[in-house]
With several copies, the nearest count.
Chain A
Amino acid sequence: MTSIAKPPVRHPGSRTNGRGLTLRDYEGAMSTLCAGCGHDSVTAAIVQAAWELELEPHRAAKMSGIGCSSKTTAYFMKQSHGFNSVHGRMPSVTSGASAANRALTYIGISGDGDSLSIGLGQLSHAIRRNVRMLYVLENNGVYGLTKGQFSASADIGSTSKKGESNEQAPIDPVLLALTLGATFVARSFSGDKTQLVPILKAGLAHNGLALVDVISPCVSFNDHEGSTKSYAYTREHEVEAVHTDFVPLQREIVIPETGEDVTVVTMHDGARVRLRSTSADYDPTNRESAYAYVRACQAQHEIATGLLFVDESGRDMHEMMKTVPTPLVDVPYAQLCPGKSALDALMERYR
């Protein structure tokens, strides 16, 4: 049984990508999540995206906190190093790893409890730092691993399995990220792989922190009537605001036949992302309009999905820190230590 046997989507494990790797090569250990858990579908989408992007598995690092969602880093890319840290602190561990070795591709997986309750501060400050990473927030409105308490993303009036209704205003990771200056903000649904995969690919190519809020239902504790994070509710209320195509560097970009307004964003590695807004007054490269649109959807109980905002001109953590292109772990010690003569000279300044 493989990590992604459980989710509905099946795939032909045989085809190989440019690196001669099959999808299977991007899979991980067997999932120990509940059958039907949205997280397993996200895992499948990540496997798909990594395979299509032809990532070098061992050049990627999988980072997570604690929770059912955070466990999933074990279920994909077994050839990558993984770091399942402590609850809510994945962003700081990833910041440190990235500071030490900027050459790796960082894939961070978190949950709504992990990122919006105990980890809210770390998520927010990782956004400010603009750490180069894909940040997938598997959002199910509850703490799954501790058996279904409301999380900070639970909507007002959403009911628990026991029938209790949530009273507090939800934290919407998308609005939060837009407010904090995130340069890549998307939302998708674990049940919508066709939408999710290109978004993940774009996020992996982004020059900074790419936040992808994925509604990922918890079948054990939050998939019932009355929940606003159930499969049924999400399917009904999802509204794709922006349709995303990811066009890798190699491939030629196809000019859209339709007259729809399309924005093409070139990622720092040369790949391009084609964004087709489904509503005229929506510009995925304008922070204010993105914010206003998502809010407006909320007011009508709609869940706006898609790559909602992207700004590829932003500076990532290393640009802000002016670090050398060589990963710091590869800078030879000789270049780091000023040596005896320098110290002897320096001593004169302390007399």
Chain B
Amino acid sequence: MSGINDFAFKIGTVNGTGSASANGLLMQAIFRMGVPVTGKNLFPSNIQGLPTWYEIRVSKDGYTARPAAVDLVVALNPSTYAKDVATVRPGGFLLYDSTWPLHPDLVREGITILGIPFGGLCLEAFEGDRDRTLLRNIAYAGGLAALLDIDMEIVGTMLTEKYGRKPKLLDSNHRAIRLGYDYAKAHFDCPLPFSLVPMDETRDSILMDGNTACALGALYAGATVGAWYPITPATALMEAFKGFCEKYRVDRETGLHNYAILQAEDEIAAAGIVIGAGWAGARAFTNTSGPGISLMQEFIGLAYYTDIPAVFFDVQRCGPATGMPTRTQQADLLSLAYASHGDTKHLVLFPADPREGFEMAVQAFDLAERFQTPVFVASDLDIGMNDWMVKRLEWDDDYRPDRGKVLDADALASVQKFSRYLDVDGDGIAARTLPGVGAKGAYFVRGSGHDKHAAYTEDSDLYQEVVDRLKRKFEHAAAAMPTPVVSLRDRADVGLITIGSCDAAVREAADLLDAQGIVVDVMRIRGFPFGTEVRQFLERHGHVFVIEQNRDAQLRSLLAIELSYAPDLMTPILDYGGLPLTAKVVVDAVAAHVAGVHT
């Protein structure tokens, strides 16, 4: 299967030793060679000393899903030797640090074992333990550059870009790269059977993680208030927003900020800040993960019942409870869709990659203000923390924020009487006023029972009038959500439905199934509530597969509940081990099912 510009390799090291930068270097170099590439960082939930892996997939055809098999493993962490060697595909290669004698765990038949004494080379070449450990990573990058034919000029330029201002560092890095490179060249016949050849497939692409992209979306949407409490894997989103604000939102002269970022005491407070700011008229958001979503439930219900806009980025991780904070999952779907006690329904967006994370971040703020309600962007660790190769982000300067129905002083002057929750247009959306606009627009927000005039009530009919309007509003939102991405092939046998980061693997699986003679249509759902297109796809296919990354088939449940679609007609394909989905999982499940049906 592997070959020129079509292979995958994995590096197993220990976290906190600086391997990340070496891995990034490799990935970026390949990208700059114009060859489509993706990297998946599988890291532990601590700061230093535990096993960590980095998987890089090179695909001339542009497949970005996590590879099912790896052609080459670089095993640099003794504690995981056995496990790592086992993942080399038959006929594949193993690269280890031959400073020490070949460890028995590393011995395996049917693969080629290569040794480079990275440790030893660095020991001779450099001073000080810290430097030696760090540069050992650069050295293996050099070795891989030789084995895979990575353009050393590009690597050189990148090192210069990075360490240009620090000559000593620059020099040592250059030397370290060379150590590995030269040793490999001298001892093995490079390149390996699978290697790189320059292409021109990445010109209009970038390498970006989803947290950065969502932060950019918030910046461009004009968000001014960010409130958060640190939590993996969401932390980087607000840190990126902060970085962008410091770059684009600080007044040159005064040094004053056109933004406010509040690191709250916990997620409950973060939600409260966002809701207070949204009520006051700012575009406000928070970034969190599962545990935070659980803690925010009460506040989410308040915003829902009082028609207050708020944007929540849920960078999902592996649950339940603390779970595996550095593993990915799509298991918060029910918690988001029906967040909070009582009858509640919420708008949710499902980006598939960082680029869509950027776009949906902007949409989230528009939807939140237009429908005056909480909106969730259901990202995940894979999207949020891995570098994805996506098309360059684009911006249309004609974009204007959709602030929804807001009555300013003039508009107020023209109305007889202002009733906060009066549904004039029949779309369930009532015009709001912002505090400070004037006495006529003053009203009292309360999470307790209220009528359409925002007055306190314990009357059944008046109470129902308001919650019925909220239901109507939710139904109207369906048409405003991003439509699903549907790819139809003629004579399709089956329909596949998926969401979010499963997309890459599912699209790849579609091609592989096609090659097996199983023709499939694919629909990737992008928003909740579901629009008519979703229903049409279901009805068109009768029976479908629903592919998602959780144990309990949560997307399937949402489809059954909201579209009254028979669950029996939706066969779940579930992957919830915490790693990004591979096409193989989908292919095997569908093929097996189809075979089953035909026997």
Question: Which residues of chain A have a CB within 8 Å of any CB of chain B?
Answer: 32-35, 57-59, 61, 63, 66, 68, 71, 73-74, 78-89, 91-101, 103-104, 117-118, 120-122, 124-125, 129, 143-147, 149-150, 152, 220, 318, 321-325, 328-329, 331, 333, 335-340, 342-344, 346-347, 350-351
Contact = CB atoms under 8 A, between A and B. Distances in A.
B322 A336 contact: no
A95 B227 CA distance: 10
Interface string B243-254: 000001101001
B571 interface: no
A99 B277 contact: yes
Contact of A100 (B269, B284, B322): B284
Nearest to A30: B49
Residue from B269, B279, B281, B437 having most chain A Cβ neighbours under 10 A: B269
Contacts of A66: 322, 447
B321 A86 contact: yes
Contacts of B393: 343, 347
A40 B322 CA distance: 23
22 contacts: A32-B50, A33-B46, A35-B49, A57-B439, A78-B442, A84-B448, A86-B322, A89-B269, A89-B299, A92-B273, A93-B276, A96-B275, A96-B277, A100-B281, A122-B272, A125-B264, A329-B282, A337-B219, A340-B394, A343-B216, A346-B216, A347-B392
B192 interface: no
A13 B438 CA distance: 22
B257 A101 contact: no
A329 to B, nearest CB: 4
Contacts, number: 268
B400 interface: yes
B16 interface: yes
B162 interface: no
A32 B282 contact: no
B235 A146 contact: yes
B441 to A, nearest CB: 8
A331 B258 contact: yes
Nearest to B295: A118
Contacts of B396: 340
A101 B434 CA distance: 10
Contact of A96 (B206, B251, B273, B394): B273
Given A81-B442, A86-B299, A93-B273, A121 B266 contact: yes
B444 interface: yes
A220 B48 contact: yes
A321 B260 contact: yes
Interface in B256-291: 256-282, 284, 291
Residue from A100, A150, A340, A351 having most chain B Cβ neighbours under 10 A: A100
A346 B392 CA distance: 10
Contact of A92 (B230, B268, B392, B400): B268
Top 3 closest A-B pairs, CB basis? A96-B276, A92-B272, A100-B282
Nearest to A120: B265
Interface in B357-379: none
B276 A350 contact: no
A35 B48 contact: yes
Nearest to A348: B206
Contacts of A144: 47
B229 interface: yes
B435 interface: yes
A101 B16 contact: no
Nearest to B221: A337
B565 interface: no
B276 A94 contact: yes
Contacts of B302: 85-86
